[in-house]
Structure 1
Amino acid sequence: MSSRNDGGVRRRQCICMVLMMATLLMCNICGAGAFSATARVGLECSRGSACSGSEAVELRYAEYEAMGSSAAAHEHEPVIVLHGLLGSKRNFATLCSGLSKQLQKRRKIVTVDLRNHGDNHHDWREEMSYTDMACDVLSFMDRQSFQKAVLVGHSMGGKVAKSLALMQPHRVAGLVVLDIAPVRYTAQHDESWNAVSSIIQAISQVQLTPGKTKRDVDSDLRHAVSDPALRAFVLTNLEQIRSDNSLRWKININAILAQLDTIAGFDIHHNDVTSADSAKNDQLPKYEGDTFIIHGGASRFVRHAHMATIADYFPNHMLTTIRGAGHWVHAEAPDDTLVLLKQYLDR
């Protein structure tokens, strides 16, 4: 399997070299104006190769489409909704159902389970870089024959959407990000991320012994996760096995725990990037499509200090704040979120 993958990568690299040499020849003939085309060819080749060496997870998904709108839905790019850490495609079921009925520009709306989440337990993976997860979504688009799609991502899913937009901008028709910045968070400097880390640690320490109930697990988590609503959200990842009445996590908690530092960061082409990198490097990739950032006013995941980095990657961005909403803006302010999404998609 690896030899075939390596051969494919080598063939792609050879094709890229031929294209670049041909463009350089045109540059000599036509003058300096053709040189910018060389840069674009090289960038597109490197972007495409990011997914060449890895086998994508076949993501589980759900579709939402207003009744009687199947033909009209194909006139506009579909929408792919990506959940956050510990979430699943079901988190957006009500929102996407309502959105599909209210859009003037009818679209197919799809929610997916990202790797190691939801119904993807058929193919758990140890790696959770944003490059790998973006390649999963790109592979999903290929299987669905989506040439382009509008990406909507919350938290971790927002970083996946951003990574894909920067890797393959020609495949992304629009970008909506719910309450996350393209930066590295640390438990030391970011209280919100410290809380996330504590939750993951607490989940990993729960012992799912025979005879244990969801109420027992809720009790185990009560000290680390004091908010009842947040505990209820965590427990949506717990399922009961009917054959022996046991419990199991639907998330790959061991991989998530091991990859928590990777999830805290933001990588493109497997290279982690920081705000300092953004300030020093004017060659960072950019997504120049319309980018809409929806920020929860009570959340600390998007701050003033992040705005320069956001602008470096996404020069055509607009940010709006839903006052009083926390990090889970779509759950805490569903009506406001729906209205904003509708305005963006019908623009």
Structure 2
Amino acid sequence: MGLTYFFKIRILAAQLLEQQHTPVLFLHGLLGSKRNFATLGKTLGIQLDKPRRVLGVDLRNHGDTLPWSESMSYPQMAKDVINFLDSQNIRKVVLVGHSMGGKIAQALALLHPEYVEGLVVIDIAPVRYSSKEDPHWRAVADIMHAINDTETTTMENKIITKRDIDLSLRQKIPDPALRAFVLTNFDSKNNQWKIPISTIVDELEQIAGFDLVLPSATNAGESSSSSYEGDVFIINGGQSRFVRHAYMDQIASFFPNHMLTTIRGAGHWVHAEAPDDTVALIKRYLDR
């Protein structure tokens, strides 16, 4: 499957100065796309003291990605990013990943550390989330199932407009901003979803987990204590529960050289709720 179909590159910012520093690649979260980081990426590119290319991509089964894929394991999605980097002749990169994109970035750093010069992880931990134990992940799963149920209803009752989809989601997703985010994945022109909703729902267990076979594992299917020794910067939202104290040992095991900063008042979508703070923190990391 050729990478041409996996990603469509968007250069968010490219300074006219000679490109002397490692490029930055943004990886979006579940139900997101490269457009989520367009404004933030441009702002970051302008403010950086060290000139860098700032790039964004659409991940597997998201955005403009075609063809769709049945599986969404983190090793596979990390390999997608490797293929993209190779296609652009990028040998080293600083990854900035939010949520699912943050897990992909972490997986890539652990499986292919030779590509990763730096890592910024936004509000996610390298752990398996459980709907029973993690209310925030349960909310995500509930949203996905609500969308999937709506898709089924749409097919049965021929509800095809964006407004109809919005109305049918109101009971299960009362937050209008969250519904608007979900509906960025609906093609109003053709009255259909742009992404394979049912496939993503089927892969939620994969997305909730962090199942890797690391290079030092001795048996097939066995995870190891291998770690990424580079600098890792974790940004989490003070109102979010995706990066909890209970996960810190696991984070330290995988990423011994990590630093964590909390943006008070922000939830899981830290970069959307506190864009100026997010840019300032990423800039500080990149310009250090």
Q: Report the CA distance between 1:288 and its aligned residue.
A: 0.6
Q: Verify: 1:60 aligned to 2:32, yes or no.
A: no
SS of residue paired to 2:22:
coil
Partner of 1:81: 26
Partner of 1:45: none
Superposition pairs of residues 222-241 of structure 1, within 5 angstroms = 222-241=170-189
SS of residue paired to 1:110:
strand
Q: Render the CA deviation track for 1:75-109: whole Å, top value 9, x for unaligned.
A: 11111100000000000011001111110101001
Contact persistence 1:130–1:270 (CA under 8 A) = no
Unaligned runs of 5+ in 2: none
Partner of 1:43: none
Counterpart residue identity of residue 318, structure 1: M
SS of residue paired to 2:32:
coil
Q: Report the CA distance between 1:309 and its aligned residue.
A: 0.2
Partner of 2:199: 255
Superposition pairs of residues 74-223 of structure 1, within 5 angstroms = 74-120=19-65, 122-206=66-150, 207-208=153-154, 210=158, 212-223=160-171
TM-score (norm 1): 0.77
Q: Render the CA deviation track for 1:47-92: whole Å, top value 9, x for unaligned.
A: xxxxxxx8766322211224523xx2x2111111000000000000
Q: Report the CA distance between 1:249 and its aligned residue.
A: 1.0
Partner of 1:7: none
SS of residue paired to 2:187:
strand
Partner of 2:239: 298
Q: Compared with structure 1, are the counterparts of its residues 169 and 67 closer, same or farther at alpha carbon in structure 2 (3 Å cutoff)? A: closer
Partner of 2:269: 328
Give the count of matched residue pairs.
278
Distance, in Å, in 2 between the alignment partners of 1:143 and 1:117 is 19
TM-score (norm 2): 0.92
Unaligned runs of 5+ in 1: 1-53
SS of residue paired to 2:181:
helix
Structure with higher Rg: it is 1
Distance, in Å, in 2 between the alignment partners of 1:66 and 1:180 is 28
Q: Report the CA distance between 1:137 and its aligned residue.
A: 0.2
Question: Which has a greater percent of helix?
Answer: 1
SS of residue paired to 1:106:
coil
Quote the sequence identity (%): 56
Contact persistence 1:77–1:150 (CA under 8 A) = yes
SS of residue paired to 1:267:
coil
Q: Render the CA deviation track for 1:288-308: whole Å, top value 9, x for unaligned.
A: 100000010000000000000
Contact persistence 1:208–1:247 (CA under 8 A) = no
SS of residue paired to 2:6:
coil
